Amino acid sequence: MTERDTMNANAEETYLRDVGKRLRSLTPEQRDAVLDDVRAHFADAADAGRSPEQAAESLGDPAQFTERVRAELGHDAGRTDRMWRVLQWLATGAAVFTAMFVSFLWPDESLPGLDSQVEQYGFGIVLLNLLPALVAALPIFVPGRARKVTAVAAAVVLTVLGVTGNATLFYSLPAMLAWAALAVPAIARHGRPAAGWRIAGGALAILPAVLLAVGGLVGSYEIDPDGWLLTGGFIAVGALIMVGRAWAGAVVAVAGVAVLIVATLDVGMITLGIWWAGGVLLTVGVSHAVAHARPGQAVRG
């Protein structure tokens, strides 16, 4: 190879590497095909007596070129961003909801009597309990570059709260949503997620109903006709999640919110269990809905 050939190969390699890096959001097949086009373009240009620099120049700079490719392939860069925003805001909202529940309704067993934290400590405790909500909201307000790191840190903090302590266990709800905010945009970056994800999501949504039905069938308890209807409805919605209907996710999410509200109305031994079930339904439902929303009806963040 002559020195000039080496230099030419470098200009081409640099361009290809840059384009490849900027097209990570495409499927490997789409990206490879575009890179083949670029490679062929450099070869054509060389045959026509043009230098690699001229060939690169006629394609435009890699940022502009790849932006055009993404636009033509309908890869709306804002799409995954909107998914993230919706889920991160929901995690924040869930953390506020959790703070209110923990402050005003949850009888703190570590305290003498069964007073709520507000009755015991005064209003200041509410502000303290709202700190996790601030943590959940932080990634939305930091500059783009620091966003991912902050979002991971926020999810970790919420998870640690959610698995330790007593009242803080309820922060497992915003923790689930914070992890979904990180996972869903990554899973859905090539468009609709792979079938495995929605089958797993559907199965997760059906699980409580199936467990309930099995208990009823083996005679552990009585399920009245309404109960059977509700159980059947749940299994049907789970099946719709499996086939990829976006609205089925919304139904599951609303059911999750209802379960969470039920958990707060009748505080008792199994409240945390109901809370977790509601959290799983809400997280699975919303994740499915935002990942499968068609571009035209995408949820605004």
Partner 1 sequence: MSEDRIATNLRKGVLEYCVLALLSHGEKYGLELADDLTSRELIASEGSLYPLLARMRENGLVEPRWDSSGTGRPRRYYAITDHGTEQLTTFAKVWTSLGAQVDALLEGSR
Positions touching partner 1 (CB under 8 A) are: 30, 33-34, 36-41, 43-48, 58-60, 64-65, 68-69, 71-74
Residues with Cβ < 8 Å from 283, sequence gap 6 or more?
176, 177, 180, 256
Q: Shortest gap between Cβ of 48 and partner 1 (angstroms)?
A: 6
Compare residues 17 and 148 and give the one whose CB is closer to partner 1.
17
Q: Shortest gap between Cβ of 185 and partner 1 (angstroms)?
A: 22
Question: 135-168: buried (b, 16+ CB within 10 Å) or exposed (e) per residue?
Answer: bbbbbbeeeeeebeebbeebbebbbebbeeeebb
Q: What one-character DSSP code corresponds to residue 266?
A: S
Q: Residues 225, 231: contact at Cβ < 8 Å?
A: no
Compare residues 40 and 229 and give the one whose CB is closer to partner 1.
40
Q: Shortest gap between Cβ of 197 and partner 1 (angstroms)?
A: 23
Compare residues 46 and 203 and give the one whose CB is closer to partner 1.
46
**Alpha carbon distance 57, 12 (integer Å):** 11
Q: Shortest gap between Cβ of 56 and partner 1 (angstroms)?
A: 10
**Alpha carbon distance 84, 63 (integer Å):** 23
Q: 210 vs 9, 164, 254, 281, CA distance in Å? A: 61, 29, 19, 14
Q: Shortest gap between Cβ of 41 and partner 1 (angstroms)?
A: 5
In the chain, which ranges are continuous DSSP H helix? 3-22, 28-47, 52-59, 62-72, 77-100, 117-121, 124-129, 131-141, 144-163, 172-187, 195-217, 225-243, 246-265, 271-292
Angle at 267 between CA 264 and CA 271, to 5 degrees: 80
Compare residues 14 and 58 and give the one whose CB is closer to partner 1.
58
Q: Shortest gap between Cβ of 184 and partner 1 (angstroms)?
A: 24
- Tokens 């605004």 sit on residue: 300
Q: Shortest gap between Cβ of 74 and partner 1 (angstroms)?
A: 8
